[in-house]
A and B are shown apart, each in its own frame.
Chain A
Amino acid sequence: MNGSAYASLLELTSGLVLVCAVVTMWRRSLPAVVKALSLQGVALGAAALILGVHQHDVVLIAVACLVLAAKGLLIPTLLGRIVAGDPSSREATPVVNVPASLVISAALTFLAYGAAEPVVRLIPTTAGRLVPLGFATLLIGFFSMVVRRKAVSQIVGLLLVDNGIALVAFLATAGVPLLIELGASLDVLLAVGVLRVLASRIGSKFGAFDLDQLRELHD
């Protein structure tokens, strides 16, 4: 693929990762949030695939396929099952309302550009310029974990954080060594699995998925 097509495809997919993160802040219906997350996984995998093809890196292409399968398909399916088992699949009373969340997301994106400045300076390539998008996704995920009250929303926040980090890793270093990449992906998969099991156990004990129910332990 030629240089400009590579650059614009990479910009498109990386941009899509951030857009999906913003969409999860915008929508309150959980099925829609899970769809946005699934699209984000696909965009992330596609970004890795484009990098791999551009750099003729077979390992990176393999990792990209793995990411597509795990983050585009497997994890959203797991989440979809939790959502389906939950009668009220809406974020009922967000701590911060939707317009404010979107403004904060924009502010976080600016912050991300500031924070990622040393990285952009070190790698003055197309991929390097896009690294702040990963940081922005990470920060939005963090924010979402703090303000959202549904168990599923918290898992979504964690996955946003993780996807943001994965995007940074692909863009900045063309993926960390394979062994560690595999370990990291497997860990996320396991963590989501564990959270799903916990969500169902909590659901059967507490009768609801809201984290506001978790009030037993405090000082």
Chain B
Amino acid sequence: MLALAALVAPLAAGMLAAVVPWRRWVGWVCTATLGVVLACGIDLAVQVVHHSAVTAFGGVLRVDALSAFMVIVIGAVGFLAAWQSVRYLDAEISDGRCGRRQASLYGVLVQGFIAAMLLAVVAGNVGVMWVAVEATTIITTFLVGHRRTRGSLEASWKYIAICSVGIALAFLGTVLVYLAALHVGHHLPANLDWTSLMAASHHLDPGVMRLAMALLVLGYGTKVGLAPMHSWLPDAHSQAPAPVSALMSGVLLTVAFYALLRFKAVADGALGIGFTRDLLVVIGLLSLAVAASLMLSQHDYKRMLAYSSMEHMGLIALGAAAGTRLAIAAVLLHILGHGLVKGVLFLTSGEVLRTEGTSEIAQVKSLLVRRPALGGLFAVGLVALLGLPPFSLFVSELNMVRAETTVGLGWAAALSLLCMAVIFAAMMSHGRRLLLGASDGERVHRTPAMVTAPLVSALAACAVIGVLAWPLASLLRAAAQVVAI
């Protein structure tokens, strides 16, 4: 029932935004809805952490610890994005770039986007999960192109063209998994429920499952932004409105990765751990290498953040390749930490873009002096993103590397550390150009607390989780248990 409440709340808010002409209070209602989603996620987590999964509608919806964790991530990052959306729309309307109808459309689409992501993570059936992930592509295309500039239209074209192909491959993979399930024999039910697939996993035909898993990794990998089908990511994430970038980078990528985790568990039963591990290692290292090489020559801070998302998706692919309980727990912690920090950075960068009028790194100087609040947020976010303590990304990256070395992937961990070192140096240098430098006597701009308060709290939460692992330790353990080898 709670899972249903979490799903219905954004839909209801979306309908409200559709029928009521856009006013600021509608935006706040939408924000409150995400608070409801977060609360539902926490309540679900408390319910399932020590007990079995909750189901509804005969297994169409099914929430276990892993799903509950993802609901929390969506709720938390969604709350930040919805909060900032109110300000984004205010600014767009007052600058005359966007009418009230377009603002309403934005509200409807964001809520629909969040509902689709929630459906993807609470679906008990992998077919329904696929439909939900595909729905996110269609909804977000309009959000990417919301500003209707040349750049944003180009980005949305590339986005939907590439992701539709990717998601089509994932559909073929799902069909082949179903085919394998149809041929396991008479004693097991043949459907696409994840639990029945898991129960039958040892009897699934290995040849078909190998083909299916390759297609699923490539297909869902496209939505995760993993190489070689990543080229949409920097364009879409840099052109979308900041709150949408925060949602896409912070949660949409990892929702697609969640789908891979589910299928990986099935494939591990059918094929042993080696096959999917090799695929994920190759694709993860490739993504890290691409991100590192393109990070060096970046001149646009939003694109820099987009390539950093690619880097982090590569890291969690490697962590998932290791696949032990420690590794999966670290992957999940990384999903949350990356979601919060990347959300904060994209929202901050949106504010910088609005006030400075450019997304070129070279044209924004001495941000820390001129806009201390925004500069400070950006600086702390960057520190967190680069995996420095006390933030949770430090803990999760450390544990992923530890887990990789224990399963004989030490060489991959070493290569990933090399790429991370390159990215560290590149982002430090870009960050220095963006943030430091003497101001030429311009007055200091203040940023309202309404903007900074939620962002500061998100970074603080990330630090608290990093230091204490509280209150997530038992949930992470339970969630990792669901799909770990």
Binding site for B on A (CB under 8 A): 115-119, 121-123, 138, 142, 145, 151, 154, 158, 161-162, 165, 168-169, 172-173, 176-177, 179-180, 183-184, 187, 190-191, 194-195, 198, 201-202, 205-206, 211, 214, 216-217, 219
Contacts and interface: CB of A to CB of B under 8 A. Distances in A.
A121 B142 contact: no
Contact of A198 (B156, B234, B238, B297): B156
A38 B164 CA distance: 20
A182 B393 CA distance: 40
B90 interface: no
Given A198-B145, A202-B154, 6 more contacts: A119-B176, A161-B165, A173-B182, A180-B174, A194-B141, A217-B158
A145 B158 CA distance: 11
Given A177-B127, A180-B130, A219-B234, A172 B151 contact: no
A168 B172 contact: yes
B175 A122 contact: no
A195 B160 contact: yes
Nearest to A146: B165
Contacts of B239: 217
B153 A198 contact: yes
A176 B175 contact: yes
B160 A173 contact: no
A176 B153 contact: no
Given A168-B175, A198-B153, A219-B294, A177 B191 contact: yes
A195 B157 CA distance: 7
Contacts of B211: 115-116, 118-119
B142 A184 contact: no
B179 A119 contact: yes
B155 interface: yes
A122 B207 contact: yes
Contact of B303 (A184, A201, A219): A219
Q: With a 10 A CB-CB cut-off, give which of B145, B158, B172 has the most chain A CB atoms.
A: B172
Interface stretch (B131-139, B318-326, B380-388, B408-416): B131-139
A214 B175 CA distance: 34
Contacts of B298: 219
Given A180-B192, A190-B138, A217-B235, A165 B131 contact: no
Contacts of B161: 145, 154, 158, 195
Which of A177, A206, A217: most chain B CB closer than 10 A? A217
Nearest to B299: A219
Contacts of B174: 176, 180
A187 B134 contact: yes
Given A158-B164, A198-B160, A165 B179 contact: no
Interface in B154-192: 154-158, 160-161, 164-165, 168, 171-172, 174-176, 178-180, 182-183, 191-192
B154 A214 contact: yes
Nearest to A174: B182
B157 A162 contact: no
B70 to A, nearest CB: 20
A187 B205 CA distance: 29
Instruction: Pick the 4 closest A-B CB pairs, nearest first.
Output: A118-B207, A180-B127, A183-B131, A214-B154
B141 to A, nearest CB: 5
Contacts of B234: 217, 219
A194 B169 CA distance: 19
A187 B154 contact: no
B148 interface: yes
A141 to B, nearest CB: 8
A77 to B, nearest CB: 20
B150 interface: yes
A179 B156 contact: no
A216 B150 CA distance: 8
B425 to A, nearest CB: 18
Contacts of B128: 179-180, 183
B477 interface: no
Given A184-B171, A202-B154, A206-B150, A191 B138 contact: yes
A137 B165 CA distance: 13
